Structure 1
Amino acid sequence: MKYLNDYIKHFFLGCFILLFYSCAEAQKPSPNTSKLYFPSTESSLWDKQSAAELGWDGVKFAEFLAWLPTQDTRAFIILKDGKIVIEEYWGDKLTGVGKMDENSYWYWASAGKTLTATLVGIAENKKLLNTTDRTQKYLGEGWTSLTNSQERDIRLIHQLIMTTGLDDGVANQDDTSPSSLVFLAEPGKRWAYHNAPYTLLEQVVQNASGQSFQNFFTENLGGKIGMKGFWQKTGENNVFYSDARSFARFGLLLLADGNWDGNQIWSGDFFDELSQSSQSLNRSYGYLTWLNGKSSYMVPQSQTIYPGMLVPNAPADMYQAMGKNGQFLMVIPSEGLVIVRMGGAGDNSLVPFLLIRDIWERLGPVIGKY
């Protein structure tokens, strides 16, 4: 009874904190979904519109496009209200054989976290799980090296928002074995970018659904919007690979609040909250998704809280799936924009913030607002 009372107390306190910050910081505008265009799920046909039609600065846009390949960009797409404004490819395919094109696959790296969060949300929509459930319900007792009492405190929501309290300072942050999942703090009290607890959400969905993660994705999301791609074990991580257009399709579905040309793929509070501050520690983090427009942010492998927006020269309502080497999916509801960037990057950071800032330093003047 004491545990239940403490949980209820912390739950309502957390709700109050999130309500306070959601009122104080930039919110996600609702896009005008009635004017969105959706490409065919059966063919490669995809309507286009020009930057000139949008009143963008043509000279600055040409300079921006010339700069992108100097940063080892392999694929770049901008959608405006669902239509392609620009689609460019540079360099060699991931295999090293042939040149990049619209059919070339590339890795998402940690940008796949947003896709994983989406699949967890769909599983909740289907009443296969609830994010307030204890993780033990799906992984069993002993999935960590914690005491049973400590382990029972970890819930699915903590894995979604990176607040499990498990130690991210272990020798291998990607190792999901119990010996590498050790106690550092109470769940909800510390934010840390930790791959292992996130990766285990795949097993949660599989155990809850009775399907492989790949089949669950294809049946409930990919197959419904013409999105290609596959999950593959890379080291100890489960990484998603797809072509750039599939990355853009996923972004368009996010922009459309889960409604693909009249087919409602998802709905509910989970998806309203996915792109909002999920806790008060790192306000620029939602459900495995990075947020702009907040008053402060944290970065992987650091406990420092930095003041200001994550990407100061980008739209405040932008939210992003972001991965190593600059795998970016940017969704901007106020502008009806979806932006995809795939490729390499000069630094070796888990999430290359400097690159996305460099992109917006050059793209903002093209659009003429930022």
Structure 2
Amino acid sequence: MKYFYFFTFSLLTLSIHAQEPQELYFPPLNSDVWETTDPASFNWCETSIDALYDYLAREQSKSFMLLKDGKIVLEKYFGNYTQDSVWFWFSAGKSLMAVLTGIAQAENLLDINDKTSDYLGAAWTSLTPAQEAKITIRNQLTMTSGVDETDFFCSSPECLIYKTDAGTRWVYHNGPYSLLRNVIENAAAENLNLFTNSHIKEKIGMSGVWVKAGFNSFFVSRARDMARFGLMVQAEGQWNDSPILSDMDYYKDMINTSQELNPSYGYLWWLNGKASHITPESPTSLTGPLTPDAPDDTYTAAGSQGQFISISPQNGMILIRQGAQDDQELAPVNFLNDLWARIMSLECQITATEIPNENNQVVYPQPATKTLTITGPVPDQTQITNLAGRPLNTWTRTKEIDISGLSPGIYILTVVQDKRLVTHRIIKR
């Protein structure tokens, strides 16, 4: 006799991270219209969402957004901050600068393998001519300039002193990066704001502005502008089939490991799912992925005090967060990991009660090659797992189960009806 077993069963069909990405939605230009998706459609619990918002409030957040396939699933503003309020991207703006550099290369204004001195002139550092000639735009994009980082923000020649040859050491360093603004402006013969306006903002309906603060250049915008930028990057540099970043080789290199020293860094984007990583706080390499509780394919624009544009293409998800934070890390990846951990645990769960299989539910034929049929009432949900318990597929409100895509072998079929479940061992031939 088969029995119902007592355990917690996640509704994986409705879980946002169990679904395949769908066709991307793009909000209209120059409009506040933006389609939404009800989080209940992913079986997310209101209590879990409220707990996430409480956590964000405690962490001094100003805004939070979560997109699925381009549509807004969650959007929350805190305190006096509103949809129209603006805030600094801080170092998350590095990822915007990376896209602008790729656009400049696509227009043949520069080549990232060019020497930086081709655009800034000789003696932009205090290095010898031979040492300086080894630094390329690629080194600026990958944090491998070889320049000493002691004076972290300063980009004047007297601050940029020799540490090691370019390309032989990875260290997070603002000085050489910040000069990418000068590289782009000299290459394009145009102010960075004008270049950003014509090549990105006008094409994707984005607002915002670059502002100078000392040696730094910070981008300032609304949360929805960050979301538009993230959506364009998620769409492989396109906006509704219109190319924004057309150099696909550059795009792929930008969001993949750019050098062997820090596998978790692309072109000014942070990468998850790698064997090791180096954080901004120390040049020491650490074993394991950057954010272990986030999807492995996540790549992130990350800034001081927790400014995030974090993208998981596999899940079709984009996380946006603006705000302050007591932790003064330059790119607080632990906070990012906590956010993803909470997001990946939002779905509700139901509990099945242990009772005998009084309906004598049968699954046939056995063995089967293409389709299984379940007798009795139409189940609320059905799931197939392998013998290790890994979910392989889930169905709702159907008695006909298509197993044609499974390899031959033995599997477990779990049937849920009225918060009760029964398990069957099935054979695929």
The alpha carbon displacement at 1:195 in A equals 0.2
Other-structure match for 1:80: 68
The alpha carbon displacement at 1:367 in A equals 5.0
CA distance in 1, matches of 2:38, 2:224: 18
Other-structure match for 2:417: none
Identity of aligned residues (%): 41
Correspondences of 1:1-370 after superposition (within 5 Å): 35-91=23-79, 99-169=80-150, 172-267=151-246, 268-366=248-346
Q: Could you tell me which amino acid in structure 2 is paired with residue 232 of structure 1?
A: V
Q: Could you tell me which amino acid in structure 2 is paired with residue 231 of structure 1?
A: W
Unpaired runs of at least 5, structure 2? 1-19, 349-389, 391-429
CA distance in 2, matches of 1:236, 1:266: 27
Q: Are the structure 2 counterparts of residues 367 and 186 from structure 1 closer, same or farther at C-alpha, using a change threshold of 3 Å?
A: farther
SS at match of 1:189: coil
Divergent runs of 4+, >3 A:
none
SS at match of 2:74: strand
CA distance in 2, matches of 1:202, 1:155: 14
Unpaired runs of at least 5, structure 1? 1-30, 92-98
SS at match of 2:340: helix
Q: Are the structure 2 counterparts of residues 321 and 197 from structure 1 closer, same or farther at C-alpha, using a change threshold of 3 Å?
A: same
Other-structure match for 1:23: none
CA distance in 2, matches of 1:300, 1:74: 24
Larger CA Rg, structure 1 vs 2: 2
CA distance in 2, matches of 1:108, 1:71: 17
CA distance in 1, matches of 2:113, 2:152: 24
The alpha carbon displacement at 1:352 in A equals 1.1
The alpha carbon displacement at 1:66 in A equals 2.1
Q: Could you tell me which amino acid in structure 1 is paired with residue 192 of structure 2?
A: F
SS at match of 1:239: strand
CA distance in 1, matches of 2:43, 2:229: 26
Q: TM-score, normalised by structure 2?
A: 0.75
CA distance in 1, matches of 2:265, 2:46: 34
Q: TM-score, normalised by structure 1?
A: 0.87
Deviations 1:108-142 (A, max 9, x none): 00000000000000000101000000111100111
Q: Is the 8 A contact 1:117 1:160 kept in 2?
A: yes
Which has more helix, going by share of residues? 1
Q: Is the 8 A contact 1:282 1:296 kept in 2?
A: yes
Deviations 1:292-336 (A, max 9, x none): 000000011412110001111110000000000000110110011
CA distance in 1, matches of 2:347, 2:180: 38
CA distance in 1, matches of 2:62, 2:235: 26
Q: Is the 8 A contact 2:62 2:323 kept in 1?
A: yes
The alpha carbon displacement at 1:361 in A equals 2.7
Q: Is the 8 A contact 2:293 2:338 kept in 1?
A: no
Q: How many residues align?
A: 329
CA distance in 2, matches of 1:177, 1:334: 42
CA distance in 2, matches of 1:127, 1:367: 47
Q: State which drifts further: 196-205 or 232-241.
A: 232-241
The alpha carbon displacement at 1:201 in A equals 0.4
CA distance in 2, matches of 1:301, 1:312: 18
SS at match of 1:61: helix
CA RMSD of superposed structures (Å): 1.4
